[in-house]
Amino acid sequence: MNNLNNKKPLSQKILEEIRKGAPQIPRSHFFIKNTGFWALTVSSILVGGIVISALLFRMIVMTQFEPKVPPSGPVEVLYLVPILWIILLSALIYFAYKATRKTELGYRYKLSTIIVTILFLTVVCGLVFYRIGTGIILDQLVGDHFLLQNDIDAIRLMR
Amino acid sequence: MPEANSQSDEDLVAICLTQDKEVFGTLVERYEDKLSRYIRRISRLKTEDIEDLLQVVFLKVWQNLQSFNPHLKFSSWIYRIAHNETLTYIRNGKTGAHGHVLDIDEEMLENIASEIDVFKETSKEHDAEILQKVLAKLPQDQYDVIVLKFFEDKSYDEISDILTIPPGTVATRINRAKSKVKEIMSNNGYKYE
């Protein structure tokens, strides 16, 4: 009997499972998942844009009020090249890349295409945010809440 | 189901989702042998394991049918599920599978030989035997694209959709596999060109 069952066509076995109520994941689940990954990509680009606006503020505006002497130590180099911002920006770009790859047809695009597009959009957002003054707000916010940034500023002003 | 048999896969999926679940049986019949062969080629599973795995694959297809994107070919999508499920099956240790089983017929051999530019002077029977040994030594990522390109006769775009990698990467892997085949043959003293 068991042997006879095994000989049943596969299509028959599958249809029996379906008739018994084999579950089907609803379309909304996939839609939410795909939209979620796109939302993560867009969020990463927007946050990256804000970070770029702060970076631009540091590099363009702040340096205008600083003495024009070369950095004398590693901390000052850190100040001139805001490495924390760059690390955060890199992390956001990586995050945006991973999220894009997870979208429905994201695998079709080359790594370089995705990275360049994300970078371009992030820079565009950064310029827009800088123009509307997001850079100074974020810079002040970070200065008020993160000791490291204040320390670097203090060292610089003492020179 | 005489009517269903003349419909495209994509049409059958649409019917299956909106009108008649039973049409799914036609899709199973269409792909049972193809997927069985494909699974055998990318794994060394026993026939009983392949039968079990096929059930899992078709139930997974049914489970995810609502996510099928009509911009894709259904065959690419179902091959992708079969590929992933086979890897999961092997990874979960449900089998002691290792290596691959490649049934190389004359047409395939000529196809591969003309692409890779090898096996021009030896007998076909001998060539098939050598090719089996050489392909088994390829890294998995290169082996997968070779199987899909030359054994399953898939286009670069289809391979891209099955393995979820960019088409450019498919081309790169195929080129690397061709070079690797020549290298392995040369290192093992097999004659070519």
Concatenating the DSSP letter of every residue in chain B gives: -HHHHTS-HHHHHHHHHHT-GGGHHHHHHHHHHHHHHHHHHHS---HHHHHHHHHHHHHHHHHTGGG--TTS-HHHHHHHHHHHHHHHHHHTTSS---S------HHHHHHHHHHHT--SSS-HHHHHHHHHHHHHTS-HHHHHHHIIIIIS---HHHHHHHHTS-HHHHHHHHHHHHHHHHHHHHHTT----
User: Which of B161, B165, B171, B163 minimizes the C-alpha distance to A110?
Assistant: B165
More confident residue, A69 or B4: B4
The 10s digit of each residue's pLDDT in B124-142 is: 556 677 777 888 888 989 9
Supply the pLDDT for residue B81: 96
Chain A interface disruption, residue of B15, B28, B51, most A CBs within 10 A? B28
Checking phi first, is residue B119 left (phi over 0); if not, alpha (psi -120 to 50) or beta? left
Look over chain B and give the mean of its residue pLDDT values, rounded to a whole number.
83
Q: How many CB atoms lie within 10 A of CB B100?
A: 17
Distance of CA B17 to the CA centre of its chain: 26
Contacts of B63 in chain A (CB under 8 A): 22-25
Inter-chain CB proximity A110 and B168 less than 8 Å: yes
- Ranking A9-23, A50-64, B32-46, B103-117 by mean pLDDT, the lowest is B103-117
User: Which of B1, B46, B52, B56 minimizes the C-alpha distance to B23?
Assistant: B1
Inter-chain CB proximity B25 and A17 less than 8 Å: no
Inter-chain CB proximity B22 and A109 less than 8 Å: no
Note whether B6 contacts A: Cβ–Cβ < 8 A.
no
Inter-chain CB proximity B69 and A105 less than 8 Å: yes
Is the model's pLDDT at A53 over the cut of 70? yes
Contacts of A109 in chain B (CB under 8 A): 166
At position A58, the amino acid (one-letter code) is: R
Instruction: Determine the Cα angle at A29 with ends A25 and A30, to 5°.
Output: 95
Structure tokens at A138: 């974020």
Inter-chain CB proximity A18 and B62 less than 8 Å: yes
The 10s digit of each residue's pLDDT in B23-43 is: 999 999 999 999 999 998 888
Give, for A8, the enclosing helix (H) or strand (E).
Answer: none
Residues 10-69 of A with CB under 8 A from B: 10-15, 17-19, 22-27, 29-30
| Distance from C-alpha of A50 to C-alpha of B164, rounded to nearest angstrom | 32
Q: How many CB atoms lie within 10 A of CB B6?
A: 8
Write the CA distances from A19 to A12, A14, B32, B181, integer angstroms.
10, 9, 20, 48
- Could you write out the DSSP letters of every residue in A24-82? ---HHHHHHHHHHHHHHHHHHHHHHHHHHHHHHIIIIIIHHTS------SHHHHHHHTT
Q: Model pTM?
A: 0.79
Q: How many CB atoms lie within 10 A of CB B131?
A: 23
Contacts of B29 in chain A (CB under 8 A): 9, 11
Name which of B28, B64, B69 is nearest A11 (Cβ-Cβ).
Answer: B28
Question: B75 Cβ partners below 8 Å, 6+ apart?
Answer: B9, B31, B158
Q: How confident is the model at residue B160 (pLDDT cuts 50, 70, 90)?
A: very high
Q: How many CB atoms lie within 10 A of CB A64?
A: 7
Is the model's pLDDT at A5 over the cut of 70? no
Contacts of A26 in chain B (CB under 8 A): 66
Inter-chain CB proximity B63 and A105 less than 8 Å: no
At position B35, the amino acid (one-letter code) is: L
Name which of A15, A23, A107 is nearest B164 (Cβ-Cβ).
Answer: A107
More confident residue, A72 or B162: B162
CB hemisphere CA count around B144 (13 angstroms)? 21
Is the model's pLDDT at A1 over the cut of 50? no
Inter-chain CB proximity A18 and B21 less than 8 Å: yes
Q: How confident is the model at residue A2 (pLDDT cuts 50, 70, 90)?
A: very low
More confident residue, B6 or A9: A9
Note whether A2 contacts B: Cβ–Cβ < 8 A.
no
Please answer whether residues B100 and B143 qualify as being in contact, where contact means their C-beta atoms are separated by less than 8 angstroms: yes
More confident residue, B45 or A153: B45
Distance of CA A32 to the CA centre of its chain: 19
Supply the pLDDT for residue A159: 52
Supply the pLDDT for residue B173: 95
Distance of CA B122 to the CA centre of its chain: 27
So what's the ipTM on this one?
A: 0.76
- Ranking B18-22, B71-75, B125-129 by mean pLDDT, the lowest is B125-129
Distance of CA B145 to the CA centre of its chain: 8
Percent of chain A clearing pLDDT 90 (strictly above): 30
Note whether A4 contacts B: Cβ–Cβ < 8 A.
no
Chain A: closest CA distance from residue B35 (Å): 12
